[in-house]
Structure 1
């Protein structure tokens, strides 16, 4: 059995979206799970679907899981 390549989803950027990398190579910027699916399929992972993206162990989510798409608002006390 062939080991899947490591997929890393970066924390949400300040302007929105999360960078997606496979084996260290940037695939693109995703704003939804569907975007990640499309990026993975374009990289040859034809079996990618939303369930796989949300639940598989070879996707490493940084800065929050698949439900996090924006950075928390930093509210400072005056």
Structure 2
């Protein structure tokens, strides 16, 4: 079985920020909450996942919008 790491950036929370998780060998690890792409890079670096392409063409699954989305519709409406 190949070691396949999946990184997920979840939709923006109503409280702000996006949860970042890594799924490795069937285990999900919560890496923290990011408020910018720089935060995502730092969380990944701390997890030993350096030099990850943050673009939508990279290995990250961006849910609720790509790397340019950091506020939710709820936050913008308020």
| TM-score, L = length of structure 1 | 0.78
More strand by share: 2
> Partners in 2 of 1:56 and 1:40 — Cα distance?
17
| TM-score, L = length of structure 2 | 0.78
1:67 aligns with: 68
> Partners in 1 of 2:29 and 2:39 — Cα distance?
16
* CA distance 1:57–1:46, change in 2 (3 Å): closer
- Mapping of residues 1-78 of structure 1, within 5 Å: 5-23=5-23, 24-48=28-52, 52-73=53-74
Q: Is the contact between residue 19 and residue 32 of structure 2 (CA under 8 Å) also seen in structure 1?
A: yes
Name the count of aligned residue pairs: 71
> Partners in 2 of 1:4 and 1:43 — Cα distance?
15
> Partners in 2 of 1:6 and 1:19 — Cα distance?
14
